[in-house]
Amino acid sequence: MEAAENRRETGGGASLPTGPGDGKQKRLGDSPSMGGFLRRAKVFLRRMLRSKSAVIGGTLILIVVLAALLAPRLAPYNPYEMQMGNRLSPPSAEHLLGTDQYGRDLLSRIIYGSIVSLQVGVIAVGFAAALGVLLGLLAGYYGGWADRLIMGLVDVFLAFPVILLAIALVAALGPSPRNVMLALGLIYWTTYARTVRSSVLAIKEEEYILAARTTGAGDMRIIFLHILPNALAPIIVMATLGLGTAIISESTLSFLGLGVQAPEASWGNTMAFGLKFLRDAPHLSIFPGLAIMLTVLGFNLLGNGIRDVTDPKLNGRF
């Protein structure tokens, strides 16, 4: 889904005119030296702090990451401790968000649920990005049959609705968080491959690449040292937005019973019980969904912020 969005959206600063040739991206200076890198990082950070979207998104993500890291300290109860006499109780002073069908504290389970959501999101996106970037670099740089084969594969993968392919893959591999990560990685690589390929096509004609080649640099050196760093900004934006999408997909699979399995705490599988007890315990559906929404919102806002800051069309507007 995020791919489609990336294709269609022209960025948060939508009022700016777009034109052909936007694929050629020069970002915050092209010098690969260390001093240049630090300078660029400083400029980048300053611009990020000025972007409302990035600051709000970053704050939301910081909260979720802290919740995951500090889960054992933050959670008021053991998320696996059952109190059968206290089942499906509504939010109260004792249990701020109420309890689930086994009398487990919902707040503690939501805090612990952030661990699996972030884990699945980060690993799935990392896997997808690594695979997609590698294949996109090869397709764009070498062209020819490698390009046709890889892009043909991309077309076939994009012919499946994402969640359908995820469901089919997880059904085949067996439901577990590990297989959810694997499945999502195997699905999301396509968007990275496409974007990286088109960046490579633009970059490889640049003069500094020709210069590198005339000095005798080999293909691998050119691809990883000269082309990749200059194709990085859209990859980072896509990965940030992709984390949100991956978290939604994980929760969807868990909701359908194909992801994280009981008794492990996950936002999606809590809501699967929420559907069963919708009348008696609406809190089981409301709060985990809220956690998902705020996390995904955080990644979306952060991703949009990074896009605005790194988008060359917006340079000079800050």
Partner 1 sequence: MAKYIFKRILQIIPVVLGITIIVFFLIRLIPGDPALALLGTDATPEELARTRARLGLDKSYLVQLALYLRDIFTLNFGESIVQHKPVMEIIGSSFPATLELAVAAIIVSLVVAVPLGVLSAVKQNSWADYVSMFFAQLGTSMPVFWIGLLLILAFSLKLQWLPSFGRGEPLAEAVGALFATGSAAPLLDSLRRLLLPAVSLGVMGAALISRMIRSTMLEVLDSDYVRTARAKGTREGKVVLKHAFRNALLPVVTTVGLQFGSLLGGAIVTETVFAWPGIGRVIVTAIFQRDFPLVQGGVICVAVAFATLNLLVDLLYAVINPKLRA
Binding residues with partner 1: total (CB under 8 A): 56
- Told to check if 118 binds partner 1 by CB under 8 A, we report no
**Residue 180 interacting with partner 1 (CB under 8 A):** no
Q: Is 73 exposed, middle or buried (0-12, 13-18, 19+ CB in 10 A)?
A: exposed
Helical pair 106-142 and 144-158, crossing angle rounded to 10 deg: 150
Residue 167 as a binder of partner 1 (CB under 8 A): the answer is yes
Closest CA to 267 of 113, 101, 112, 63: 113
Separation between Cα atoms, residue 42 and residue 67, nearest integer Å: 28
Is the distance from CB of 204 to CB of 141 less than 8 angstroms? yes
Using CB under 8 A, pick the residue from 69, 70, 168, 262 that binds partner 1.
168
DSSP 266-283: -HHHHHHHHHHTTTT-TH
Does 143 sit near partner 1 (CB under 8 A)? no
Pick 91 or 289: Cβ nearer partner 1 = 289
Q: d(Cα 219, Cα 142) in Å, to the nearest integer?
A: 9
Q: Does 32 bind partner 1 (CB under 8 A)?
A: no
Cα–Cα separations (whole angstroms), residue 24 to 7, 298, 312: 16, 28, 9
Shortest Cβ distance from residue 223 to partner 1 (Å)?
A: 27
Residue 287 binds partner 1, judged by CB under 8 A: no
Restricting to residues 188-247, which ones interact with partner 1 according to CB under 8 A?
Answer: 244
Nearer to partner 1, 34 or 172 (CB): 172
Residue 90 C-beta: closest distance to partner 1, Å:
14
Closest approach of Cβ 139 to partner 1, in Å? 16
Binding residues among 145-164 for partner 1 as defined by CB under 8 A: 152-153, 155-157, 159-164
In angstroms, give the least distance from the CB of 26 to partner 1.
Answer: 22
C-alpha 177: how far from chain center: 16
252 is a site residue for partner 1 (CB under 8 A): yes
Which residue from 116, 248, 302, 306 is in contact with partner 1, where contact means CB under 8 A? 248
Say whether residue 271 binds partner 1 (CB under 8 A): yes
Check if the beta carbon of residue 59 is closer than 8 Å to that of residue 289. no
Nearest approach in angstroms of CB 256 to partner 1 is 6
Q: Say how many C-beta atoms besides its own lie within 10 A of residue 148's C-beta.
A: 11
Question: Judged by CB under 8 A, which of 41, 62, 225, 275 binds partner 1?
Answer: 275
DSSP reduced 3-state for 99: strand
Long-range contacts of 85-89 (CB under 8 A, 24+ apart): 88/277, 88/280, 88/281, 88/284
Contacting positions for partner 1 (CB under 8 A): 1, 4-5, 8-11, 14-18, 152-153, 155-157, 159-165, 167-169, 171-174, 244, 248, 251-252, 255-258, 268, 271, 274-275, 278-279, 282, 285-286, 289, 292-294, 296-297, 300-301
